[in-house]
Amino acid sequence: MIEINSVKNTKIKEIKKLLQKKYRHEENKYLIEGFHLVQEALQGNQAYDYLLATEKAYDRLLELANIDDRKVIIIKDVIAEHLSATKNSQEVFMVLNINQPKTFSFEYGKWVVLDNLTDPGNVGTIIRTADAAGFDGVVLSKESVDLYNPKVQRSMQGSQFHVQVIQMPILEALASFKANGFPIYVSVLDKSAKQLNNCAPVPQLALVIGNEAHGVSKEVVALADKKIYIPIKGQAESLNAAVAAGIMIYHFS
Amino acid sequence: MIEINSVKNTKIKEIKKLLQKKYRHEENKYLIEGFHLVQEALQGNQAYDYLLATEKAYDRLLELANIDDRKVIIIKDVIAEHLSATKNSQEVFMVLNINQPKTFSFEYGKWVVLDNLTDPGNVGTIIRTADAAGFDGVVLSKESVDLYNPKVQRSMQGSQFHVQVIQMPILEALASFKANGFPIYVSVLDKSAKQLNNCAPVPQLALVIGNEAHGVSKEVVALADKKIYIPIKGQAESLNAAVAAGIMIYHFS
């Protein structure tokens, strides 16, 4: 256990850099914050480098989980504020290893595939919904917001430790789904598509959700085995992406 | 049409105050921003005091709608930035009248009732979903975030002009629903409640969604004709409130 008192400390500077995508992927590490998330990471036996906590927070954390104190850094409040990505600073942080498979073969189950989603809150919320609905995992296209973005991590509320989440080129993922016999269901805003309510349950599928403003990209729509849509009955132009995804995910759960 | 160049102008100062709840309700006015919202307000024939726009934005707006130019204030970019509640300032604003009924009788249709929702994005998104699903309106409890909060207004994306949205004491609203024979469906996180999938469609209902952290309050649960829940099949502790509401709203739509 070590103690760091200054935001100018080299280690703190390095950790702070993990709030930027570029450094996360150079270092292959990322930062999470908050009791709930850190507790989930500990319980899920995630590989981590450091656990940072204020003295008070560390005492509280000890009641919740077993901690290897060689990895603990006790920090002052001012460092917690410095590292936090939220307005109301959290008091506990963890530096984790990014552990993405180089290749991945989709062999069974139900998956959500996110095509170029840009809002971190939407991405995190959809992953949380996929977890709640008992889906097996989520594929996030390379063009989407970075999976290790602090807002994405926060809105997942721990679901990143429950289901598989893989950020990879979407066409590679879809080729693997196709090769393994998964039907590709693509959500579109087109009334010529099949109404969600008329879609029968299936034992496995890849369910593609598109960009908040532009929907699913053309190359991906071209690969659809089935195009589906949620009917808009009122005057709203569309549904929020996370809400639309939630309705579809639960329909197929 | 008048032109204002300085953020120190008295009228601009007054308008800026409308970003605060206290002043909104003293003045009985509120502010919206952005082309889409202003266009919806114009098309919905909403009563308004002023339309503020940068010169460029005004030209664009003239192509979209008929505007009474006696109500137009042309503003400089610096004023637009000053008034904007978003990081990327919008160029068009409107000062509208708050027009809430003193009492309200619920006579027909399908309604969502929000019990102490605190997140403006959730509230706005749920109202948008209710609109998309063809519901008749939304009741927002007095303890919930203010309906005229800029973030609520923004995330509704115009649905405030399509469906009725009423902020009033929740027990009064529920008494009116009861008196008019609406069944009260209350969303709970309790497995002894009825699974959403097993709930038959109904011609009218009041569907109550609870606070993000604490759920529906006890007094409200006590009034339930039916308690319902969305099963959690994975390891997530719960669903995001707007997603859960979306799944329920579409189930009953």
Domains of chain A by start residue, with CATH: 2-97 (3.30.1330.30), 110-251 (3.40.1280.10)
Q: Between A89 and B227, where is the model more confident?
A: B227
- Crossing angle of the two packed helices B120-132 and A241-251, in degrees rounded to 10: 60
Least confident of A43-57, A156-170, B77-91, B216-230: B77-91
A-B contacts at Cβ under 8 angstroms: 106
H or E element in which residue A151 lies: helix A150-156
Q: Answer whether B243 sits within 8 Å of A121, measured CB to CB.
A: no
Q: What is the pLDDT of residue B143?
A: 96
- Nearest-by-Cβ selection for A247 from B121, B128, B246: B246
Which phi and psi angles does A117 have, rounded to 5°?
Answer: -80, 130
Q: Answer whether B129 sits within 8 Å of A240, measured CB to CB.
A: yes
Instruction: With a cut of 80, say whether residue B55 has pLDDT above it.
Output: yes
Selection from B224, B232, B236 nearest residue B187 by Cα: B224
- Nearest-by-Cβ selection for A236 from B159, B242, B247: B159
A129 neighbourhood in chain B, CB within 8 Å: 236, 239-240, 243
Q: What is the pLDDT of residue A222?
A: 96
pLDDT digits (tens, 9 = 90+) for B12-48: 999 999 999 999 999 999 999 999 999 999 988 899 9
**B159 min Cα distance to partner chain A (Å):** 6
Q: What is d(CA B91, CA B10) in angstroms, rounded to the nearest whole number?
A: 20
148-177 in B: which are within 8 Å (CB) of A? 155, 157-159, 162-163
A137 Cβ under 8 Å from any chain B Cβ? no
Contact A24, A78 (CB under 8 A): no
**B243 min Cα distance to partner chain A (Å):** 5
A250 Cβ under 8 Å from any chain B Cβ? yes
Q: Whole-number mean pLDDT of chain B?
A: 94
Helical ranges in chain B per DSSP H: 10-17, 21-27, 35-43, 55-64, 77-83, 120-132, 150-156, 170-179, 218-221, 241-251
Q: What is the pLDDT of residue A103?
A: 82
**B153 min Cα distance to partner chain A (Å):** 14
- Nearest-by-Cβ selection for A243 from B129, B159, B233: B129
Question: What residues contact residue B40 under an 8 Å CB cut-off, 6+ apart?
Answer: B158, B161
* 3-state SS assignment for residue B31: strand
Selection from A7, A4, A61 nearest residue A34 by Cα: A61
B133 Cβ under 8 Å from any chain A Cβ? yes
pLDDT digits (tens, 9 = 90+) for A125-172: 999 999 999 999 999 999 999 999 999 999 999 999 999 999 999 999
**A123 min Cα distance to partner chain B (Å):** 12
Segment B94-120 mean pLDDT = 93
Q: What is d(CA A220, CA A117) in angstroms, rounded to the nearest whole number?
A: 14
Provide the sign of the torsion angle of the four alpha carbons B160, B162, B163, B164, taken in this order.
positive
Q: What is the pLDDT of residue A44?
A: 87
Radius of gyration of chain B (CA): 20
Strand B205-209 to B48-53 pairing = unpaired
Q: What is the pLDDT of residue B161?
A: 94
SS (H, E, C) chain A: CEEECCCCCHHHHHHHHCCCHHHHHHHCEEEEECHHHHHHHHHCCCCEEEEEEEHHHHHHHHHHCCCCHHHEEEECHHHHHHHCCCCCCCCEEEEEECCCCCCCCCCCCEEEEECCCCCHHHHHHHHHHHHHCCCCEEEEECCCCCCCCHHHHHHHCCHHHCCEEEEECHHHHHHHHHHCCCCEEEECCCCCCEEHHHCCCCCCEEEEECECCCECCHHHHCCCCEEEECCCCCCCCCCCHHHHHHHHHHHCC
To test the contact with chain B by mutation, choose from A250, A251, A252 the residue with the greatest count of B C-beta atoms within 10 A, namely A250
Q: Which residues of chain A have pLDDT under 50?
A: none
Which two three-digit tokens encode residue B119? Answer: 């997140």
Contact A196, A239 (CB under 8 A): no
First-to-last alpha carbon distance for chain A, in angstroms, is 45
In this structure, what DSSP letter does residue B143 have?
T
Query: Could you give the percent of chain B with pLDDT greater than 90?
Result: 87
First-to-last alpha carbon distance for chain B, in angstroms, is 45
**A241 min Cα distance to partner chain B (Å):** 10
Q: What is the pLDDT of residue B44?
A: 87
Count Cβ atoms below 10 Å from residue B160 Cβ, excluding itself: 25
Query: What ipTM was estimated for this complex?
Result: 0.92
Instruction: With a cut of 80, say whether residue B88 has pLDDT above it.
Output: no
Provide the sign of the torsion angle of the four alpha carbons B235, A62, A147, B215, taken in this order.
positive
Q: What is the pLDDT of residue A145?
A: 97
Q: What is the pLDDT of residue B62?
A: 87
Q: Answer whether B240 sits within 8 Å of A135, measured CB to CB.
A: no
